Amino acid sequence: MPEGPSLLILRKLIETLQLEGLEVIVAEGTADIDMDRIIGKKVNAIRTWGKHLLICFDQLTIKIHLMMFGTYRINERKDGDVKIRLGFKNAELNFYTCLVSLIEGDLDQVYDWSVDILSDQWDPKEILKKLKQQDSALICDVLLDQKIFSGSGNIIKNEVLYRTRVHPLSTVGSIPAPIKKAIIAEARNYGFDFFKWKRENTLSKHWEAYNKEQCPLKHPIEKIETGKNKRISFVCKQCQKLYKMESNTTIF
């Protein structure tokens, strides 16, 4: 599933088309929405929230979630059913194998921009407050919770936990406050690193834990299933501490 930085790259690509103020001439596809409502609308902005691409009109927004296998084409097409095609005077957007829905009204009433790790409105103090309400949760789950770290995915989760030297099975309430703050900061820092490296096509060269067999210190990395949804984590047990609530101690 594309993570927030990949959606930001897509947004930047679409912004180069300068669609703001342009009218939708064609709206078609297999998505279960009323395409007629889109035709004739003028684009106000292209935005993202976490893993959502938002094509904004006056009091109406198209939300596109690429899920695991979603793809897109700009000014070109590919074989297969298109979920939504938007045609403009000199541009065309095509999205495949994705979820498409319409949002009514003001996006500020729908989205909490303070939790988007790449947003200008990102607020680490608000994130810390949310973490304090998750004492019994595992940090691996919290880093994938889009209501707390919008845009974070499995790559960001693994790299942030390695950077901060925290085991993914640590409970949030047992992690010392300074380390919680470091996790929050690194979620945003790594998000922008991810964005930069993916644009350069060098992202995987910078991985320290994700999909690795050894950490940078040459310790072995274990691949384990963690959390409520059994997502894959890459763990260096020598570098990453396991914080447990039961004994309020740190285990290596």
Whose CA is closest to 101, among 161, 145, 54, 47? 54
Rounded Cα gap, residues 97 and 87, in angstroms: 18
Number of C-beta neighbours around residue 141 at 10 A: 19
Rounded Cα gap, residues 106 and 58, in angstroms: 9
Bridge partner residues of 138 (DSSP): 171
Instruction: Write the DSSP symbol of residue 149.
Output: S
pLDDT at 249: 44
For residue 54, the number of C-alpha atoms closer than 13 Å in the C-beta half-sphere is 24
pLDDT in tens, the chain (252 residues): 799 999 999 999 999 999 999 999 999 999 999 999 999 999 999 999 999 999 999 999 999 999 989 999 999 999 999 999 999 999 999 999 999 999 999 999 999 999 999 999 999 999 999 999 999 999 999 999 999 999 999 999 999 999 999 999 999 999 999 999 999 999 999 999 999 999 999 999 999 999 999 999 999 999 999 999 999 999 999 999 999 976 544 444
Do 234 and 210 contact (CB within 8 A), yes or no? yes
pLDDT at 251: 41
Whose CA is closest to 62, among 91, 17, 89, 93? 93
pLDDT at 250: 45
CATH 3.20.190.10 location in the chain: 4-109
What's the gap between Cα 135 and its chain centre? 23
If one looks up domain 113-251 in CATH, what number appears? Answer: 1.10.8.50
Whose CA is closest to 47, among 121, 143, 124? 121
CATH 1.10.8.50 location in the chain: 113-251
Q: Which residue has the tokens 């834990």?
A: 209
pLDDT tens digits, one per residue of 189-215: 999 999 999 999 999 999 999 999 999
Q: Which residue has the tokens 């095509």?
A: 94
pTM of the model as a whole: 0.93
Burial class (CB in 10 A: 0-12, 13-18, 19+), 126: middle
Count of helices and strands (H, E) across the chain: 5, 12
Rounded Cα gap, residues 75 and 93, in angstroms: 6
pLDDT at 245: 78
Rounded Cα gap, residues 45 and 58, in angstroms: 10
pLDDT at 102: 98
pLDDT at 1: 75
Domain 4-109 maps to which CATH number in 3.10.310.30, 3.40.470.10, 3.40.50.1820, 3.20.190.10? Answer: 3.20.190.10
Structure tokens at 114: 């303070």
pLDDT at 246: 65
